[in-house]
Amino acid sequence: MWRLSDELLKGFEKMLEESYEATKRVAEELNCRWEELPDAEPCDAFGVDGSRGVEKFSGVVFYAISSVAVGSDVLEMHEVTTLRPYRHIDDRIRLHMQTSEFRIGSMAEAEMVLMDGTLSGAVIRPPAYISDDIRDNLGRLRLMYDLDEMIDDFVFALDTWYGEIAADVAQGRARGNYLLTRTEYFDKMERGYRRGESFKEDLTILFEYLEYLHALNRLLEKHVIFVAKSFYTSEFSKNAAISDAAVLDYLAVKQFGEERAAYLPFKYEMKKALPFAKYFPNVSRADIHAAFVRFADFGSIYLLESPRKIDRKVLAKLKSLEVDGYLLPLIHAHRYAEIKKRELRNMMITLLNATDPKFSFLLKGGRGVLER
């Protein structure tokens, strides 16, 4: 067991001193000020969150996704599905969960829809494997499939598919597998548009991304605000070694004498090149307005992002949702998602225990020895 040594403490304090001086230097060069929050105004809002459970085995990856929207009602989607142990498993499952969250958020009827995370990350930064592979894969897939026509038909089918999902959610029975790319319909499309060797796995990965963009495009029809609890932006510091959060805290103490509830709006200046932009105009044309906000004195700073302006009227409405420095709909959504995560885990264990013993060799996992 390590013991705290004088050398370790001195090294830690030296790093803190260097960070403090760098933060102070950057903050004193900035020409911006915090603005105090307006008085609260009533607001009707939903908070959205999700969870996932994953079991990886030698022959299959088994996972479950749950997404919830909590406000004047509770909307739920629960999905159980499998993947072959192919490529980018963790990223694809994460993308599936985000797709589900965007869908459930787009179905929430409220003045505002609050999402956990960042809009900039959702729009500007596609999954790394899409960015890396898309140039090579598109060329190859166009040789093997009538790809453009297939994309046209798939996006059109997603509109109908979305309506079926919304009907299940409204009736409280959205339990199943809601990725269109995991259905027999997609399998038939793949066979029908194929004109060469099958590259079904690569094609599926690409179309999962299209399904994600379709869900995000629907979500952006709402007055949606993304709320990030953790962020390492450098919009103000312009220095990747110093986070905005540290600079903003220093500025607040210097301006108010304490960490007071306040906000600091800004707008991103960025370039984005969204693939398949013509199919998803809400995503491709979205401007991203942002603000750093502290909802309560001495509370944490959060990053808010939205395709609409985050002005004093919006902030007054958000202020009415604040509890202990955070937004109550998102607190409820997180807690509800945590409950569902435990339920998903129990369901997965039950299902696996009921599986025919002949499949046992496909259900071996390398972590078993660590969990005894």
- Cα atoms in the 13 Å half-sphere on the side-chain side of 217: 21
Q: Are residues 113 and 244 in the same domain?
A: no
Q: Domain residues for 188?
A: 45-225+328-354
Q: How many domains does the chain have?
A: 2
Type of residue found at 343: E
Q: Indicate the pairing of strand 74-83 with strand 175-176.
A: parallel
pLDDT top residue among 198 and 57: 198
- Tokens 């299959």 -> residue: 60
Sequence-separated (6 or more) residues with CB below 8 Å from residue 208? 92, 95, 96, 99, 179, 181
Q: Are residues 149 and 245 in the same domain?
A: no
In this predicted structure, the answer to whether residue 274 has a pLDDT above a threshold of 80 is no
Strands (E), 251-370: 262-267, 289-294, 302-306, 322-323, 326-327
Least confident segment among 159-163, 173-177, 210-214, 338-342: 338-342
Within a domain: residue 1? no
Closest to 352 in 3D by CA, of 59, 87, 94: 59
Q: Are residues 204 and 249 in the same domain?
A: no
Taking residues 140-154, report their average pLDDT: 91
Closest to 326 in 3D by CA, of 350, 293, 355: 293
Q: Are residues 274 and 344 in the same domain?
A: no
Within a domain: residue 372? no
Contact between residue 261 and residue 37 where contact means Cβ atoms under 8 Å apart = yes
pLDDT category of residue 13 using cuts at 50, 70 and 90: confident
Contact between residue 200 and residue 190 where contact means Cβ atoms under 8 Å apart = yes
Q: What is the pLDDT of residue 188?
A: 95
Within a domain: residue 316? yes
Q: Are residues 289 and 333 in the same domain?
A: no
Length of the chain: 372
Q: Indicate the pairing of strand 289-294 with strand 322-323.
A: unpaired
Within a domain: residue 371? no
Tokens of 110: 């409220």
Q: Report the C-alpha gap between 54 and 82 in whole angstroms.
A: 10
Tokens of 91: 């990223």
pLDDT in tens, 118-146: 998 888 766 666 655 555 677 788 888 99
Q: How far is CA 94 from the centre of its chain?
A: 8
Contact between residue 184 and residue 192 where contact means Cβ atoms under 8 Å apart = no
